[in-house]
Amino acid sequence: MLEKRIVVCLDVRDGKTTKGVKFQGNVDIGDPVEMARGYYEAGCDELVFYDITASSEGRGIFIDVVERVAREIFIPFCVGGGLGSIEDIRRVINAGAEKVSLNSQAVKNPAIISEGAAIFGRQCVVLGMDALKDPAMPSGYQVVINGGRVHTGRDALAWALEAEKLGAGEIVLNSIDTDGVRNGYEIELTKMISEAVGIPVVASGGAGEPEHLAQVLSEGRADAALIASMVHYGDYSISDIKRHLDSRGIPVRRT
Amino acid sequence: MIVVIDYDAGNLRSVETALEHLNSDFVVSANPEQVRGADTIIFPGVGEAAHAMGVLRRRGLDQALREAVGAGVPTLGICIGSQILLDESLEARDGVTRCIGLEAGTARFFSEDFAKRGISGLKVPHMGWNQVQPVDGHPASSLFDGIEPGSSFYFVHSYYPAPSDDAVTLGITEYGFPFVSAYGRGNLVATQFHPEKSGPVGLKLLDNFIRNFGG
């Protein structure tokens, strides 16, 4: 039986893992390569690294981080943040990433999804989507970009379906409403998107305790759950979370 | 020397880092002469069957691979490698894609087979960790030495290998229905999953291949 994945997310800025609340007030919390190795050894199923660097100098440091991570961990990992061209994608793939996450850039230029899928395969192209509750939208959620600061006027469900058609192989679905506040994932949004598309959906935004993962992986129909703060600050270990999911009858990888 | 065949099929970097981690002597090559001269071959890759076959043919790598495997060079196919070592793949622009033909069988499409069998609610690609049940008594079962039966490996694929001869089945995985996630005959073994991405058990399997099969 296919197991539900626990995906640990690391935001990287100037070579350091950093963590913010609702995209504001970031603090550095450690070395991404060491943290990645720690999570790998602890039994995490997959990792995501977001480059939140603004400078071109930071870009170079980030690629170096990706290369070093690739030599340390032997599970899949995805890289996102500011990838706007096929060349950008090629650079992180060649550095050792398994997948790339396209977010704001995909909204601005949807063709990058189909071009990326044609060159690197669908499995490589992940749509990263930030969604915000908006009763004026047909699905009740609007796509936002640039870390939630810019409203796109696009409906979240319509965009998910379009991205799937364009060739995305997976969706990382982040709720801006619940992100960083550790009160649980946006179950309704996740369920709606996951049931509508035929590709895997990774729920993101709001994990604070193991039961939140259990909810989004069962009621929310997510294929995987993304976590950050709850493990970065040492509140829970990967095995605490897996033990809890197992007790809830959710299939997880034993390590 | 291990030759990792390069035919523009996705990410070879992860195979390289895994082999580096195992301290293996290897070279990544697109040269058919180097493939013919290999002690051991790893044939990895992700991508699309027709495109992959096109590149292999243009570079003369399909023929080199047939000759090397025919001459007894230990060979491990991974992911799309496990599919296109078969006769044909249903992943095609129209009809079927003729493949390398080192093992009788067809690479089949999950979505099509789910529809035929009335299975709904399963995502395609089959992406993530799933258990592999090794087949006891298979001549190549030493590939799984030291790995607990039913351990999970990492998969990412929409097509799956369906060899014609049941006797070659080396590992079975369940996704909607049981499918062949590893097969082997003589010096040729293949896994649909990615050992290089499957953590410690995957590295163990690669090491088993190199030690127990490698030339």
What DSSP letter does each residue of B84-148 carry, written as one string? HTEEEES-SSSS-EE---SEEEEEEEHHHHHHHHT--S--SSEEEEEE-EEPTT-TTGGGGTTS-
Q: Is B79 a catalytic residue?
A: yes
What letter would DSSP give residue A98?
S
Q: Is B99 a catalytic residue?
A: no
pTM beyond 0.90: yes
Looking at the complex, report in whole angstroms how far the Cα of residue A24 sits from the nearest Cα belonging to chain B: 32
Residues in chain A predicted with pLDDT less than 50, given as ranges, are none
pLDDT at A110: 97
The stretches of A55-148 forming alpha helices (DSSP H) are 56-72, 86-94, 104-108, 111-120
Contact A252, A246 (CB under 8 A): yes
Q: Give the largest Cα separation in chain B, rounded.
A: 48
| Residue B72: how many other CB atoms lie within 10 Å | 11
- Closest Cβ opposite residue B127 in set A75, A200, A254: A200
pLDDT digits over A199-230, tens only? 999 999 999 999 999 999 999 999 999 999 99
How far apart CA A121 and CA A55 sit, in angstroms, is: 29
Q: Is B202 on the interface with A (CB under 8 A)?
A: yes
Catalytic residue among B48, B79, B91, B126: B79
Structure tokens at A77: 């990992």
| Residue B6: how many other CB atoms lie within 10 Å | 18
- ipTM exceeding the 0.85 mark: yes
pLDDT digits over A4-21, tens only? 999 999 999 989 999 865
How far apart CA B6 and CA B87 sit, in angstroms, is: 20
Per-residue pLDDT of chain B (215 residues; tens, 9 = 90+): 999 999 877 678 999 999 999 999 999 999 999 999 999 999 998 888 998 999 999 999 999 999 999 999 999 999 999 999 999 999 988 889 999 999 999 999 999 999 999 999 999 999 999 999 999 999 999 999 999 999 999 999 999 999 999 999 999 999 999 999 999 999 999 999 999 999 999 999 999 999 998 76
CB contact under 8 A, A1 and B129: no
Contacts of A2 in chain B (CB under 8 A): 122, 126, 128-130, 155, 175
